[in-house]
């Protein structure tokens, strides 16, 4: 199986020994505590599950700036996006060497991890701008990722952590949420050697389904890991349980047995386009995938990135930085001429009128009005789940 990034074995920071975890939970009651941002809590979950191997915790200012500007830490570890614990208020932990980190996304704000504090530093306004521009490619506050990042604060709390739980993902998404450790074990149990990962934050329409099938066939893959984001998205996006139900229905009905692994991960979407695409590849390598499908405007939002910027960045990173390979895909849609789903760049004789394409807005309108989506766009069983969701929202 493919090796984890920067290590021979995974480095999950979740404490799984019950006695040790109980001791740490008891210790945490006497420690100064810091309420995390949602983004830092999501980073904690990714560190806990081994997705961010080989990191041992949160980056300091020097590493964050190095990663933003050069895509590697001060010590030379390739990494595309800073992994930070930023705060607006450090009054409760000043001078502390060991602190409890509290989860803002769970009622009662329980302790999610314990941190050995290496440093508490303050980013300058210019340094925050530098990181923003390098990672997101823009300083425009209308970009949802920029707005969230710049609201987190300028106090940088760095150090190694011991993770005590995986937030709400373990309970709310039982059976779907899996750590990198669990996915590697699942892949090994299936006997797969070549695995394609498909990143999604949306329900999968027919074009997505066919793209997965195309990638599997062309790569000669043993299976595909449909890996859905379960953390925070942006207003108006479809809730994770609805996406989960859609994907599982599609897999159950339209894919061969033991060809698809459906799972999810606990992370807040960054909408960072090319940089986030590289991060997606890195942690998919950590979970055991050998290939990642990178499509048109992968991890993008609005018009902030070019349609293939997230593919082009993989030609710019150092050779050997990652072992995982990408499957570069174009937009896929139903061809009226060929009576099947195709990648648009592979149909040069087509005009736009030769495709069946509905905008996201039109799809939502149709579903909300109880109008069935055409079979060239969505499987009827998937469309029904979405229609029930939109009608319940409207009612």
Q: What is the pLDDT of residue 368?
A: 82
- Cα–Cα–Cα angle for 171, 172, 176, rounded to 5 degrees: 90
Whether 49 and 138 share a structural domain: yes
Distance CA 204, CA 247 (A): 6
Do 48 and 147 fall within a single domain?
yes
Contact, 370 vs 360, CB < 8 A? no
> Is residue 6 assigned to a domain?
no
- Give domain status of residue 4, yes or no: no
pTM of the predicted structure, to 2 decimals: 0.94
Same domain for 235 and 354? yes
Indicate if 190 and 156 belong to the same structural domain: no
Two tokens, residue 31: 């420690």
- Exactly one of 21, 186, 190, 202 is catalytic; name it: 202
Q: How far apart are CA 183 and CA 334, in angstroms?
A: 32
Residues 325 and 190 grouped into a single domain: yes
pLDDT of res. 395: 61
pLDDT by residue (tens digit) across 73-98? 999 999 999 999 999 999 999 999 99
Q: Which of 201, 213, 248, 384 is catalytic?
A: 201
Burial class (CB in 10 A: 0-12, 13-18, 19+), 174: exposed
Q: What is the CATH number of the domain that holds 80?
A: 3.10.400.10
86 and 199 co-located in one domain: no
Tell me: cis bond preceding 54? Omega within 30 of 0 counts: yes
Tokens at residue 210, please? 């066919």
Same domain, 156 and 180: no
Same structural domain, 341 and 228: yes
CB 10 within 8 A of CB 180: yes
Segments of the chain with pLDDT less than 70:
233-236, 394-395
Whether 341 and 376 map to the same domain: the answer is: yes
Residue range(s) defining the domain that contains residue 45: 18-167
- Asked whether residue 385 is domain-assigned, the answer is yes
- Respond yes or no: is residue 336 known to be catalytic: no
CATH at 187: 3.40.50.620
Distance CA 341, CA 73 (A): 42
Q: Does 195 reside within a domain?
A: yes
pLDDT at position 237: 74
Is residue 201 among the annotated active site residues? yes
């Amino acid at each position: 199986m493919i090796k984890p990034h920067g290590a021979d074995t995974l480095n999950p920071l979740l404490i799984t020994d019950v006695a040790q975890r109980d001791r740490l939970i008891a210790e945490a009651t006497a420690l100064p505590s810091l309420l995390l941002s949602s983004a830092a809590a999501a980073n904690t979950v990714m560190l806990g599950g081994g997705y961010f191997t080989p990191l041992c915790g949160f980056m300091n200012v020097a590493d964050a700036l190095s990663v933003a500007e050069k895509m590697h830490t001060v010590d030379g570890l390739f990494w595309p996006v800073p992994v930070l614990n930023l705060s607006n208020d450090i009054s409760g932990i000043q001078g502390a060497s060991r602190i409890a980190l509290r989860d803002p996304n769970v009622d009662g704000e329980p302790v999610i991890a314990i941190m050995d504090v290496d440093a508490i530093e303050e980013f300058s306004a210019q340094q925050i701008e530098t990181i923003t521009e390098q990672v997101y490619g823009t300083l425009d506050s209308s970009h949802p990722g920029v707005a969230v990042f710049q609201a987190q604060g300028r106090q940088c709390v760095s150090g190694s952590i011991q993770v005590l739980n995986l937030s709400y993902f373990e309970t709310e998404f039982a059976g779907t949420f899996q750590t990198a450790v669990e996915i590697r074990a699942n892949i090994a149990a299936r006997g797969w050697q070549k695995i394609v990962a498909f990143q999604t934050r949306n329900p999968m329409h027919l074009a997505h389904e066919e793209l997965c099938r195309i990638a599997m066939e062309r790569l000669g893959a043993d299976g595909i890991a449909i890996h859905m984001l379960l953390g925070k998205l942006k207003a108006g996006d479809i809730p994770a349980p609805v996406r989960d139900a859609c994907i599982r229905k599609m897999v159950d009905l339209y894919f061969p047995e033991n060809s698809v692994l459906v799972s999810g991960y606990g992370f807040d979407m960054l909408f960072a386009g090319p940089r986030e695409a590289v991060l997606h590849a890195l942690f998919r390598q950590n979970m055991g995938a050998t290939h990642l499908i990178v499509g048109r405007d992968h991890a993008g939002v609005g018009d902030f990135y070019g349609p293939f910027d997230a593919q082009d960045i993989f030609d710019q990173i150092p050779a050997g930085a990652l072992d995982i390979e990408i499957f570069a895909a174009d937009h896929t849609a139903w061809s009226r001429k060929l009576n099947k789903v195709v990648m648009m760049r592979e149909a040069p004789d087509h005009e736009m009128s030769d495709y069946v394409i509905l905008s996201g807005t039109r799809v939502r309108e149709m579903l909300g009005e109880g109008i069935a989506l055409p079979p060239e766009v969505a499987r009827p069983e998937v469309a029904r789940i979405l229609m029930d969701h939109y009608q319940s929202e409207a009612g």
